[in-house]
Amino acid sequence: VSTQSTGDEGCEVLECRDDGSFFPMYCDGNICWCVDVNKGNEIEDSRGPKRSFHCTEQGEKVVYTGCQNRRYDVCGVDFDRHSSRWTMVEECDEYPCDPVDGLFVAKQCLGPNICWCIDRYNGDVVQGSVSLNCSLECHSNNTYTISPCVKTTSCLEQSVMECDYTGSTSSSR
């Protein structure tokens, strides 16, 4: 997805597909734009920052959601010339996005035991929602329900640290 300068100021030569048509998207540095795949003309108002959108074969600009942009920043992406879309460099589980609306998935987890709720629109953690070894249900209105925690180990044979009102600790069995 690149252009080549002809040496004339303001004149660029667009690379073509094998069949002679134009790619739907071209970039110069960090700015990209959509083009008519048959004529190569730039689609009006389609310019924008690299990795923030892709262009369809019909020349439509499809802007990515905050979730998709955050995933691309964290996971790394590369441009697939054949599909004219940004794709993950490798499999990435960070910041999963809902495949239907592109928003953040409300429940995020680190492994099987630590989970938290996030705002589906901006990806911020919902205060107080971090759960360890508990059943967590995240709701769309940034509320959550934590079911009683499940004990995963027995404390009978382990030493447990307890704090008294002064903050000092003691060991008990």
pLDDT at 5 exceeding the cut of 60? no
Is the pTM of the predicted complex or chain greater than 0.75? no
The H-or-E segment that residue 131 falls in is strand 131-132
Could you tell me which residue, 117 or 97, shows the higher pLDDT? 117
pLDDT at 33 exceeding the cut of 70? yes
Highest mean pLDDT among 37-46, 88-97, 146-155, 162-171: 37-46
Whats the size of the chain, residue-wise? 173
Could you tell me which residue, 94 or 171, shows the higher pLDDT? 94
Under a CB-based contact definition with an 8 Å cutoff, are residues 106 and 138 in contact? yes
Q: What pLDDT is attached to residue 47? A: 94
Q: What is the mean pLDDT of residues 4-27?
A: 72
The mean predicted confidence, pLDDT, of the chain is: 74
pLDDT at 122 exceeding the cut of 70? yes
- Reported as a single tens digit per residue, the pLDDT across 53-100 is 888 888 888 888 888 777 777 776 666 666 666 665 555 666 677 878
CA 125 – CA 166 distance, rounded (Å)? 32
Q: What is the mean pLDDT of residues 8-32?
A: 80
Neighbouring C-beta atoms of residue 107, cutoff 10 Å: 17
